[in-house]
A and B are shown apart, each in its own frame.
Chain A
C-alpha cells in the first residue's frame, strides 16, 4: 500500500500503558531524598484555552475546529500533547463551542494547522514549563535541573519524580509564560508521526455522535418541504392535514431574501412530528402551491451557453497580469492551439445530509449539529433571534462529511426558528433529496485557452479566459463578476514561463445559490490549465512531464497574490518541480504500460501545498477505468502523516467522482437530480489502487491537506485517457463513448 518512510511506531492510545505510571514510580530507590507529594489538587490546571490538566493526570485538549474526517481533532491534540510531552493514552479531546475567544473557527480553506500550529505548540510548551517550575519549587531545586517527559517531571539529581497530575495544584498558582521554550524538530514525538484518530474506536462501534445522533429530552423532529426554485414562498397548502397520528404541527417558513443574510433558510413548509418517519411521510404527501420567483427561468444549459459566449469575446483583464503582446505573437503565424473546457454544477453530497437540533427556551438557545463554523453560526442564530451571542451556544457534533456545505448553517436556523415557535427542542432532518436540490452548488464554468507554441511546445503567447458564476453572487445581490480570490485559485497565478500572456474573466449571475466545495475554483482552473498544457506537449509529440518541467521556471518563488496570512509564502517553483520529479519516479512513468493503457499527469499548487498526480487509465468499451493513482504531496510541516496520506487517497476518489459522474442540471429553476441514482458518486469497484508519497518538509510553514489533492485528479484522468485512446475530453463529466 502506501509507502511512508518516516513513520514512528504507532501512537495507538494504549501503546504506552504499562510503561509509565506504577512501574516507573516504583523504580525510585528507597535511598532517594524524598519530599512528600504535594496535596491532591481540587481543580484542574488550566493554563490556556486549549489545555486542561486534571489532578488525576488526564489531559483535556480543546478542539476548536470541526471534525469532518480530516482528522483535525487528532492533529490538534498531537501538537499540544507533543509540546506538553504528555502520555498520549492520557489525552482526551473536548469539542469547543463556537466562541470568539478561540479566534477563527471557520473550518474551511484547509488551514486549521496553518492557523493554529504555533499557538498550540506554545500552549503545550507553556504548560510543560509550568509543570517543571512547579516541581522545582516543590523540591526546592532549580528549574534547569528538572525535566518533563512522558507525563512526569523528573529530578535526576535526587531521583525524584512526580506525575503531571500531582503538580496540577502548584502549577495553577504560577504565572503563564508568554514565550516558553519549545521543542526542536528532532524532539517531536507526536508531530509528524502516525496517530490513530481519537474518534476511530467510537466510530467503528456506532458510538460517534453525528448531527442526527444528538438527543434532547422532549425533542420532536421536523422535515421541511422547500420550494423547488430559489426564492419561492408558500402560496397554499392544498391538503393540509388537521390531525394525524404523531403529527405535532405544520409551520410555514418564509423564504429569505436571495441576497442579504446569505446563510438564511430558503423557507418552506415544516412538518413537525414525534419521529422522523412520521414527519417524512406526511411531508411527502403534502401538495403545495408556491409563489413565483425570478429564478424560475433559470436554466443551467442556458447559463452554460452564455458562459461559452462570454469566452468568445475579450473579458475583463486580470489587473497587472498582462505581459508582452499576445496579439502580436498570434499574428506571427506560429503553430497555434486553442481549446474550450467546461465543467458543470456539482453538489457536495456529504454522506450525512444536513441536520441540526435546537432548543430555544428561557431566553437562551442551544444548537447542536454538524457545523463547519460554529462561531459564525452562533452569530447568525443570535441575529435571527435578536439575542446576545452570550445567550446562544452552538456546539459541533462530528460532521458526517461536509466539503464546504456545512459552513452554511441554514439548516441550523431552520431548527432554531421551529424550536422558538413550538417551544420545545426540534431536530430538523434533511433528506438526501433536500440536500441535492437545495445545496450551495459548486459553480459551473468554462475556460478558453489559446497559445502560440514553438517546435518544443513551449508557449510564446498564452491567452486564457475564465467565466463562471461567482460565489460573491450569494453575498451581494448586485455582484456579477468573479472575485480576486476566486481567480487566484489556479487562474491568475499560473506558474509557467510565458513572455506574452493575457488573462481575462467574465461572470454571470446564476439562479441558484453557489458556494465553495472542496478546493473551490481550483477544480476547474487546474482542470483547464493542466489539460491545455498536456495539449501543448501532445501537439508536438513531447513527453508531458518533460515538457512541463521545461515550461516552468528553473527556480524561484512566485508571489501568490491575495493569499491569506501568515505572509511569507509564495509559490516555490523548486517545490513544485520536486513533486513533479517525485511523481514521475513513484509512477515509474517511463515503464511501458499495456496496450490501451495510458498515463496522465497533472500538478497544482493550492492552499499553499504542492500536489502532483499520475493516473493510469484505459477505456473499456468506452468506459474509463482507472487502475492506479500516484500522488505526491508537499504540504510543508505536517502533523499526522497518515492523515495526509488518507486525504490524498480520498481526494483521488472525490476527483474521480466529479470527473466521471458529477453533474447537476437546473431547468425552470428546478434541480433535475435528487439522489445517488442520478447524482452518482464513485463506488469501490471504480477506486484505483493508490500510492501516496509525502514530501518530508518539517520546519516549513504548514499548508493545506484537505483540499489540494482534488484539483489535479480530473485533468490527470483526461490526460491519461488521451494517452490511452487519442481522444481528448474537454468537458466534465467525461462522456462515455
Chain B
C-alpha cells in the first residue's frame, strides 16, 4: 500500500506496511540514512526526527501515524537551524557522530520552544539521547552557544 508522506517539505510515497516504523521507511525506502538505528526501543534517541515540529523517536512510530503531517529529518535541519550545525562543527562536538543526528534534532526542538535554555532545561530536553562516546559536555556548551547566536547575544 502506498502511503503519502511529507518529508523535508516534499510529498513522497512509500509502499510499505502501515505498521512499519517511520525510521525504516526513511532509511530503507526514502534513502534518508541520516536518521540512525540505535536501539529499536526509544531508549537511545539516535532515530529522533521532528513530526509536526515535535521530536519523535522514529523507531517507535508506525509510519501510518506520520501521514499527512510534516516530517523533518537531519538532512533538512540546516535550513531552520544553521547555527546549530555551525557550532557543532566548530566545537568538534561529534566523536563517532552516530548519535549526533538525534542529538541535533532534540537540540533544535529545544531551541524552538526555549530561546535561552538553562543547563537543567538542556539536561531535561536531551535526556532521551544517549552518546556512548561521551560528548555531553560539548553538546551542552554548543546548545548554549547556538542559543546565544539565535538571540543575537554572546555565548556565556
Identify the A interface with B (CB < 8 A). Answer: 1, 10, 12, 67-71, 196-197, 199-201, 203-210, 212-213, 215, 221, 245, 275-277, 280, 349-353, 398-403, 429, 431-433, 642-643, 646-647, 649-654, 657, 675-677, 681-685, 687-690
Contact = CB atoms under 8 A, between A and B. Distances in A.
Q: Quick one: which of A200, A351, A682 has the most chain B CB within 10 A?
A: A351
A203 B100 contact: yes
B134 A683 contact: no
Contact of A675 (B29, B39, B97, B104): B39
B10 interface: no
Given A215-B31, A351-B38, 11 more contacts: A197-B92, A200-B88, A204-B85, A204-B94, A204-B100, A350-B96, A352-B38, A398-B97, A432-B39, A684-B129, A687-B134
Contacts of B6: none
Contact of B132 (A201, A349, A649): A349
Contact of A204 (B21, B27, B88, B137): B88
B27 A276 contact: yes
B20 to A, nearest CB: 5
Given A432-B40, A677-B43, A684 B20 contact: no
Q: Quick one: which of B27, B43, B77, B123 has the most chain A CB within 10 A?
A: B43
B40 A431 contact: yes
A438 to B, nearest CB: 15
Given A212-B33, A400-B97, A351 B24 contact: no
A200 B91 CA distance: 10
Contacts of A642: 92
Q: Quick one: which of B38, B44, B94, B95 has the most chain A CB within 10 A?
A: B95
Contact of B36 (A210, A276, A652): A210
B115 interface: no
Contacts of B37: 212, 276, 353, 429
Contacts of A349: 132
Q: Which 9 A-B pairs have the closest CB atoms?
A: A206-B34, A653-B134, A400-B98, A69-B96, A69-B95, A650-B134, A206-B74, A203-B97, A687-B136
A206 B73 contact: yes
B127 interface: yes
B137 A400 contact: no
Given A12-B90, A69-B97, A276-B24, A1 B141 contact: yes
B130 A221 contact: no
Interface in B45-94: 46, 73-75, 77-78, 84-85, 88-90, 92, 94
B12 interface: no
B28 interface: yes
A652 B94 contact: no
A687 B80 CA distance: 28
A402 B96 CA distance: 9
Given A277-B21, A353-B37, A676 B130 contact: yes
A201 B89 contact: yes
Given A643-B92, A684-B140, A650 B135 contact: yes
Nearest to B96: A69
B97 A681 contact: no
B138 interface: yes
Nearest to A645: B92
Contact of A351 (B31, B33, B126, B130): B130
B41 to A, nearest CB: 5
A646 B17 CA distance: 43
A212 B59 CA distance: 15
Contact of B95 (A245, A432, A646, A677): A646
Interface majority SS (helix, strand, loop, mixed), chain B: loop
Interface in B91-128: 92, 94-101, 104, 122-124, 126-127
B11 to A, nearest CB: 20
Contacts of A646: 92, 95, 135, 138
A199 B95 CA distance: 10
A351 B46 contact: yes
Nearest to A207: B34
B32 interface: yes
Interface majority SS (helix, strand, loop, mixed), chain A: loop
Q: Quick one: which of B28, B85, B99 has the most chain A CB within 10 A?
A: B28
Contacts of B28: 221, 275-277
A433 B37 CA distance: 12
B130 A683 contact: yes
Contacts of A685: 123-124, 127
Contacts of A71: 92, 95
Nearest to A649: B137
A657 B132 CA distance: 9
B40 A208 contact: no
B69 to A, nearest CB: 20
Given A277-B21, A401-B96, A684-B129, A653 B136 contact: yes
A403 B133 CA distance: 9
A432 B135 CA distance: 21
A280 B23 CA distance: 13
B147 interface: no
Q: Quick one: which of A197, A403, A642, A652 has the most chain B CB within 10 A?
A: A197
A603 to B, nearest CB: 20
B89 A196 contact: yes
A203 B84 CA distance: 12
A129 to B, nearest CB: 32
B38 to A, nearest CB: 5
B125 to A, nearest CB: 9
Nearest to A400: B98
Given A275-B28, A653-B136, A682-B134, A204 B89 contact: yes
Contacts of B16: 275, 277
B5 interface: no
B41 A196 contact: no
B136 A654 contact: no
A213 B75 CA distance: 14
Contacts of B7: none
A403 B134 CA distance: 12
Contacts of A402: 96
B73 to A, nearest CB: 7
Nearest to B128: A683
Contacts of B46: 351
Contacts of A401: 96, 98, 132-133
Nearest to B124: A685
Contacts of B123: 684-685
